[in-house]
Amino acid sequence: MAQEHVFTVIDKDATYTIGSPSGTTLLQALRQLGDLALEAPCGGNGSCGKCKVRILQGEVSSPQTEETHLLSAQELRGGIRLACRTYLLDGVDQQLVIATMHHTGTSQVMAAFTGGMPLENLRFHAQDIEIERSSAEDQRSQLARLMDEVAVHPALKSPRNLRHLQRTIGHTSIRCLMDQGKVVSILDPKEKAYGLSIDIGTTTVVVYLVELLNGAVVDYRAALNDQKRFGADVISRIEAVAGQPKGGLLLQHTIVRQLDKMAAELCQAHSIPTDSLIELCAVGNTTMLHLLLGVDPASIAVAPFTPVFTENLSCPVSQLGFTHISDTTLCVPGSIASYVGADITAGVLASGITRQTKPVLFLDIGTNGEIALWDGAQLYCCSSAAGPAFEGASILHGTGGITGAVSSVSWVKDEQGKPSIIYQTIGENIPIGICGSGIIDATAALLELGLVDETGAMLDSQEDGSQLIIATPAGNAFSIVSATDHPVYLTHKDVREVQLAKAAIAAGIRTLMYESGLSLDDLQAVVIAGGFGSFIDIGKAQRIGLLPPVDPGIISSVGNAAGKGAVLSLLDPTAYEAMEQIIHQARYIELSSSPQFMQYYIDEMTFPTEGFNTHG
Amino acid sequence: MAQEHVFTVIDKDATYTIGSPSGTTLLQALRQLGDLALEAPCGGNGSCGKCKVRILQGEVSSPQTEETHLLSAQELRGGIRLACRTYLLDGVDQQLVIATMHHTGTSQVMAAFTGGMPLENLRFHAQDIEIERSSAEDQRSQLARLMDEVAVHPALKSPRNLRHLQRTIGHTSIRCLMDQGKVVSILDPKEKAYGLSIDIGTTTVVVYLVELLNGAVVDYRAALNDQKRFGADVISRIEAVAGQPKGGLLLQHTIVRQLDKMAAELCQAHSIPTDSLIELCAVGNTTMLHLLLGVDPASIAVAPFTPVFTENLSCPVSQLGFTHISDTTLCVPGSIASYVGADITAGVLASGITRQTKPVLFLDIGTNGEIALWDGAQLYCCSSAAGPAFEGASILHGTGGITGAVSSVSWVKDEQGKPSIIYQTIGENIPIGICGSGIIDATAALLELGLVDETGAMLDSQEDGSQLIIATPAGNAFSIVSATDHPVYLTHKDVREVQLAKAAIAAGIRTLMYESGLSLDDLQAVVIAGGFGSFIDIGKAQRIGLLPPVDPGIISSVGNAAGKGAVLSLLDPTAYEAMEQIIHQARYIELSSSPQFMQYYIDEMTFPTEGFNTHG
């Protein structure tokens, strides 16, 4: 039997002592812990090089090939290792002490959304209901007195709401929160009513605090999804827990713990008792919603990609394991398919495209690129596995949109025609890596400077007169930041990742065009949802062939449309009905079995030669 | 600030170390603990003498007047104290160690009920539903596939049921549990489906394990209600936690913890995964149901006695704090009034009296006596505060129906006419006290032997030639058990308690007779529900005036009718509808404001002189 190995972990805010059998990896051991500053985008297969930890004391397994490849000699000398490739050893004397590595910067998550919410009516309103006074002869319950005066929602009969009702005993006027004419909750006099709208992205999580009676978004919290230490994309997370009994529940506990904490923090920051939270709405992709509910999403990962549910549903948050907030109802709008989730339903709702009479293209580019094309009557949808390149995960120096990430790259030429690179970082901090918008810019720069050809082949550093292509342990690479201790470059392998990612998106768009019989000229608008869309340079995204060659004037970014849809669910009395209508109008196209997609994908693998590809 | 006093508690099965501020009583401190062998029927006001503990080491406050009165000198010498009158002291050196006292006997709780359940149809049945096979082109969710074939109950969309549905992915035949034509749950092949029926009495708790597909009551567990350490009756429990923030939740945690454990034990004993529990039905009096749901019942205790709810409702058990069993739905049938709870609704259903065309009287005698009179069209109901005398709580040597309790008392006279007492104990154990049926018998014997007159006055020990009346520290008393180390006697004060209790019941019956315009002669049947009714000698209960002077042949005991009604709720497709009909037909009579009741109560305070009182 393997020896139990007890060791110490020094994290950002806390120190933990945990035990794990010898022979397990540090990553496996660390996954036991709650809120740990550790990412493993590749799911722990030694390919992404992100799960760095520092060994402060004690002995572990020797560095493996992947580590010598992905870590610099300096890092290895400094005790930095990849948690997924470092094993706990048997029979060591000195206790092991490790420290997590983390960027002190905060994550730049796009939580904002464009456009107001000009709602004629809000879904909720407060109303004082007069009830008859109790007497020895009339011992009807307080609930019966209320029900004799006004229609009540079934949710009013929850233990939590009955506790609120208890506080009104002896009163003959009860302040009720009405949801479309029915009492859903009891308010104390002057109590405000709040809801939370939750957008669970594979990468980022946003929780909005919404004041129900005036429709204001009071505040929000955004963070990287704590599930990231199980993998950057849904498939790696599913695989990371596959075969483990209760593996799905492990992922559930991770996200629930995070949401629970964010919700409680938001309430605390505004001195709102969590009892004033009336309803939560959570959107996310289909896998995230399965994980939220503790339902194993394994069948989503393999053909024929059957989800357990895509239907809208609701349950008390206690059923999911929330403990920091009062036991209110969480509602989940319906999803469209395994890879087109409720975040798209909500996003389409918020964007209003299905109320248009002319064709509109809707893009939500994240780890997956969800694409929807409205032709005026039907919503063609697909999901294209772009991979996490644009989220920085499969890119050697890639990073999320955190402070210090290179977010924009351009070039100027001097009088001799020698180009030099200009970059900006988020928060104007010292550069620590490159995020999605920077990756697109850098790729565009490589194409513009002729350092990469249309096939994606990079000049060799020996041949490059500009000195921008340098030799690195990872081969030829485009040097973006060189003058600091922490150089940032884009390798020739990174460029291949970008090619694959942009080809997947572009081919997905063309497949929907094909299915609908529309051409790019028919498009009235192209709407880009999601944080990513807000930060990219549209021209450069068109230059590398990620966005279609339409008039840039019709392309607009709407911010976090999914989050906006989740907010609307709390405010717009017609939201849920409208989302059901959207699902009803949706026609899902499975790309993996589409011959058109395969052909387009091959076509789109090359970069546009001059300006734009020609589409559809 | 009071010093935190840490001390050790040795209980039946475990040893605990707890802390409590100096100045608090041992009872207050011990209430923090879970399953403790400690009762405090009077709620801790020093009047019942039941909360005995033994001080094994360390110093506590000196014995108070109540203790010298209620404890024998021998007990006090042996370190026995009343937990409610013993205070933790400041500045003591030696650590305090106390032991709880407990009867090793198990509680004799009446869980059985009479009569089969000749149901034509069971509520639940299993059905294999064929669904269409998934394909890349048809990515409908598993739930959608099912919903396209068959109607589903909203409860199917719970996280737990979706987890069950997940296991059917890839199958084209799904074994469904149907509730009246709608799918409520997914079964594994060959999986059986179970439910739990719960009867929460103020004194006792019974949990029945029911097999849903064949209607069998597989097993049950019965126990004293763990809330008893907060008081014997509902009012003392309400008062024990009144003013404490979250006091109601403390009582909720106590009962939920107990039910959760009993449920898990039942499943374990029969190797049933708790995932196979489909539905729970809980009945109880209105206060017990408020406490189960964590709703403060304080308003039930004071005029005008308004309950927060009497309506039927349901919620997931996770919402109540169950953690040992899978997250299934708990249903609570409707109650009739503050003091006529869902246990009576369910009991009336089970007894079938409202299906009779002739008048029937229904009695459930516990701490409260709930009385219902069916006149063929309407159900007159009341609740009479009998007090806990018949449950042994306000009787000096009284005890519940546990092994060793004197349960039957009679007398014989020898040739000289000198009477001697014959008694039986439960389990034929050494007598340790006297329970309800024994108390009735003993009172009847006192009347028959002329040792107590119709006013309840007891002969003085000096005047009594039979030597059955003895002088005790508590005054004159009827000696029932004298030849053991543990004498059992019924004091003159105990007889007063019996008088008050029987008067309350008898006056309640007469009040309903008055309200309905019926006389005893009109009664077709008298149905006695509850464990108590099963154990008493009907003739002796009539002799003391507890039961009305009708032909004993029409009086029958139906056992735990409330429990049977809770079982029917799981089996009979018409049960909930029928219970709503019963509530609709019920007319509640508040006795505390009834002038008739007050008059009858005074009348009934005396014992019948010869044979029977004459009623109505």
Tens digit of pLDDT for each residue in A456-497?
A: 999 998 888 888 999 998 899 999 998 767 889 999 999 999
**Arithmetic mean of pLDDT, B306-328:** 94
Q: What is the mean pLDDT of chain B?
A: 88
Mention every residue, 6+ apart, whose C-beta is less than 8 A from residue A453: A607
Interatomic CA distance for residues A280 and A293, integer angstroms: 14
Q: What number does CATH give the domain B194-332?
A: 3.30.420.480
Are the Cβ atoms of A310 and B140 closer than 8 angstroms? Answer: yes
Question: Residue A32: pLDDT band by 50, 70, 90 thresholds?
Answer: confident
Tell me the C-alpha distance between B592 and B382, whole Å. Answer: 10
| Closest chain B CA to residue A336 | B140
Q: How confident is the model at residue B520, as a pLDDT?
A: 95
Q: What is the pTM of this model?
A: 0.81
Q: Which residues of B99-124 are buried (b: 16+ CB within 10 A; e: fewer)?
A: bbbebebebbbbbbbbeeeeeeebbb
Residue of B nearest to A592 (CA): B136
Q: What is the pLDDT of residue A24?
A: 86
Give me the pLDDT at residue A615, please: 39
Contact B44, B51 (CB under 8 A): yes
- Strand, helix or coil for residue A408: strand
Mean pLDDT over B305-309 rounds to: 95
B-chain residues near A327 (CB < 8 A)? 319
Evaluate the CA torsion angle A547, A548, A553, A555 in order and state its sign: negative
Nearest CA in chain A to B289: A159
Would you state the pLDDT for residue B117? Answer: 61
ipTM: 0.81
pLDDT at residue B109 is higher than 60 = no
Return the SS3 of A245.
coil
- Considering only CB atoms, B337 lies closest to which of A139, A293, A304, namely A139
Q: How confident is the model at residue A109 (pLDDT cuts 50, 70, 90)?
A: low
Mean pLDDT of the region A365-390: 90
B381 phi and psi, to 5 degrees?
Answer: -130, 145
> If pLDDT is split at 50, 70 and 90, which confidence band does B19 have?
confident
B155/chain A closest Cα distance in angstroms: 10
Distance from C-alpha of B45 to C-alpha of B47, rounded to nearest angstrom: 6
Q: Residues A480, A481, A487, CA angle at the centre, nearest 5°?
A: 115
Domain boundaries along the sequence of chain A: 4-100, 124-186, 194-332, 352-388+497-604, 394-487
Nearest chain B CA: its distance from A335 CA (Å): 10
Give the contacts of A436 (CB within 8 A, at least 6 positions apart): A389, A390, A391, A392, A401, A532, A535, A536
**Nearest alpha-carbon partner for B225 in B367, B62, B52, B396:** B367
Q: Is the per-residue pLDDT at B105 higher than 50?
A: no
A37 burial via Cβ count (<10 Å: 0-12, 13-18, 19+): middle
pLDDT cut 70: percent of chain A above it: 93
Phi, psi values for residue B57, rounded to 5°? -160, 145
* B559 CB neighbour count, 10 Å cutoff: 20
Residue A32 φ/ψ region, left for φ over 0, alpha for ψ in the -120 to 50 degree band, beta for the rest: alpha
Please tell me the predicted confidence (pLDDT) of residue B614.
40
Q: Are residues A447 and A547 in contact, defined by beta-carbon separation less than 8 angstroms?
A: no
Residues linked to residue B330 through DSSP beta bridges, in sequence order: B280, B315
Q: Which helix (H) or strand (E) holds A587?
A: strand A586-588
Task: Give residue B2's pLDDT.
Answer: 60
**How high is the pLDDT of residue A70?**
79
Residues of B in contact with A304 (CB under 8 A): 134-136, 138-139
Which of B143, B293, B315 is nearest residue A311 as measured by Cβ atoms? B143
SS3 call for A83: helix
Measured distance CA(B106)–CA(B432) in Å, rounded: 13
- pLDDT number for residue A492: 95
Which residue does chain B place closest to A249, by CA atoms? B163
Segments of B39-105 assigned E as strands:
52-57, 80-82, 97-100
Q: Contacts of residue B338 in chain A, CB cutoff 8 Å?
A: 139
Show the tokens assigned to B237.
């429990």
A455 Ramachandran zone, left/alpha/beta (phi>0; psi -120 to 50): alpha
Please check whether the two domains, B194-332 and B351-388+497-604, share a CATH topology.
yes
Beta-carbon contacts of residue A553 (< 8 Å; ≥ 6 apart): none
CA distances from B573 to A160, B191, B210, B218, B348 (A): 29, 22, 15, 20, 17
User: What single letter denotes the amino acid at residue B395?
Assistant: I
Give the neighbor-by-neighbor strand order of the sheet with B194-200.
B216-224, B204-211, B194-200, B277-284, B329-332, B313-316
* Residue A64 neighbours by CB distance under 10 Å: 16
What's the pLDDT score for residue A484? Answer: 65
Residue B316 to residue A320, Cβ atoms within 8 A: no
What would the pLDDT profile of B356-382 be if each residue is shown by its tens digit? Answer: 999 999 999 877 889 999 999 999 999
Confidence tier at A44 by pLDDT (50, 70, 90): confident
Question: Quick one: average pLDDT of A178-203?
Answer: 94
Q: Do A318 and B319 touch (CB under 8 A)?
A: yes
Higher pLDDT, B293 or A611: B293
Q: Amino acid identity, residue B12?
A: K
Average pLDDT over every residue of B329-336: 97
pLDDT band at A168 (very low <50, low <70, confident <90, very high): very high
What pLDDT score does A5 carry? 79
Contact B310 A140 (CB under 8 A): yes
pLDDT band at A13 (very low <50, low <70, confident <90, very high): low
Distance of CA B122 to the CA centre of its chain: 28
The pLDDT score that the predictor gives to residue B514 is 97
Integer-rounded Cα Rg, in Å, for chain A is: 26
Least confident range of A35-39, B62-66, B379-383, B548-552: A35-39
**Residue whose entry in the numeric block shows the structure tokens 């020896």:** A3
Structure tokens at A134: 């109790």
Report DSSP state, residue A490. Answer: E
Tokens matching residue A69: 């490849």
The C-alpha of A201 sits at a distance from chain B's nearest C-alpha, in angstroms, of 20
Element (H, E) at A479: strand A475-481
Q: Which of A169-183, A197-211, A379-393, B157-171 has the lowest mean pLDDT?
A: A379-393
Concatenating the DSSP letter of every residue in B317-359 gives GGGGT--SS---EEEEPPPSBTTB-HHHHHHHHHHTGGG-SS-
Going by pLDDT thresholds of 50, 70 and 90, the confidence category of residue B114 is low
Amino acid at B277: L
Closest-CA residue of B relative to A319 is B318
pLDDT in tens, A115-145: 556 677 899 999 999 999 998 888 899 999 9
Banded model confidence at residue B317, pLDDT cuts 50, 70, 90:
very high
Contact B166 A295 (CB under 8 A): yes
Best probe of the B interface among A145, A308, A335, by most B CBs < 10 A, is A308
B141, B299, B327: residue with CB nearest A310: B141
In this prediction, residues B324-340 reach a mean pLDDT of 95
Candidate CATH numbers 3.30.420, 1.25.40, 3.40.50, 2.60.40; the one for domain B351-388+497-604: 3.30.420
A363 pairs with which residues across the strands? A371, A528
Q: Looking at this protein, which amino acid is placed at residue B140?
A: R
* B154: closest CA of chain A, how far (Å): 9
**Higher pLDDT pick, A497 / A417:** A497
Q: Give the pLDDT band (50/70/90) at residue B503.
A: very high
Q: Is the pLDDT of residue B610 over 70?
A: no
In CATH, what is the architecture of A352-388+497-604? 2-Layer Sandwich (3.30)
With H, G, I as helix, E, B as strand and everything else as coil, classify residue A103.
coil
Tokens found for residue B589? 């009579």
Chain B residues whose beta carbon lies within 8 Å of the beta carbon of residue A172? none
Contacts of A580 in chain B (CB under 8 A): none
Confidence (pLDDT) at A56: 76
Among A301, A341, A308, smallest CA distance to B174 is for A308
Reply yes or no on whether the pLDDT at B119 is more than 80. Answer: no
CA distance B58 to A148: 60
Q: Which residues of A touch B162 (CB under 8 A)?
A: 293, 295, 308-309
| A487 C-beta neighbours (distance < 10 Å), count | 16
* Closest chain A residue by Cα to residue B157: A313
Residue A81 burial (10 A CB sphere; 0-12, 13-18, 19+): buried
Check if the beta carbon of residue A227 is closer than 8 Å to that of residue A289.
no
Which residues does B521 contact at the CB level (< 8 Å), separation at least 6?
Answer: none
Which residue spans within A201-240 are E strands per DSSP?
204-211, 216-224
What average pLDDT does this structure show over A328-353?
A: 96
For A186, which DSSP code?
A: E
pLDDT at residue B484 greater than cutoff 70: no
CB contacts, 8 Å: B287 with chain A: none
Judged by CB atoms closer than 8 Å, whether chains meet at A306 and B163 is answered as: no
**Which pLDDT value is given to residue B125?**
94
> Percentage of chain A with pLDDT > 90?
58
Q: Angle at the Cα of B483 (from B479 to B486), degrees rounded to 5?
A: 80
Run of H or E including A161: helix A159-166
- Confidence band for A112, pLDDT divided at 50, 70 and 90: low
Mutate to test the interface with B, among A132, A169, A183, A293 (most CBs of B within 10 A): A169
Q: Are A489 and A432 in contact (CB under 8 A)?
A: no
Q: What is the mean pLDDT of residues A354-358?
A: 94
Mean pLDDT of chain A: 88
Query: Measured between beta carbons, which residues in chain B are less than 8 angstroms from residue A135?
Result: 304
Quick one: how many helices (H) and strands (E) in chain A? Answer: 17, 26
CATH 3.10.20.30 fits A4-100, yes or no: yes
Give the separation between CA B469 and CA B451, rounded to whole angstroms: 8
Residues A248 and A227 sit within 8 Å (Cβ to Cβ): no
> B13 or A405, which is more confident?
A405
How far from A365 is each of A436, A560, B106, B462, CA to CA, in Å? Answer: 11, 11, 66, 99
CA torsion sign for A258, A259, A264, A269 is: positive
Least CB-CB distance to A162: which of B170, B299, B309? B309
Measured CA to CA, the distance from residue A204 to residue A228 in angstroms comes to: 9
Residue B110 pLDDT > 60, yes or no? Answer: no
More confident residue, B22 or A568: A568
Least confident of A15-19, B116-120, B260-264: B116-120
* Start-end of H helices in B100-170: 142-147, 159-166
Residues 6+ apart with CB under 8 A from B213: B122, B124, B125, B126, B192, B193
Q: Are A108 and A203 in contact (CB under 8 A)?
A: no
C-beta of residue A169 within 8 angstroms of C-beta of residue A142: yes
Residue B615: its pLDDT value, please?
Answer: 39
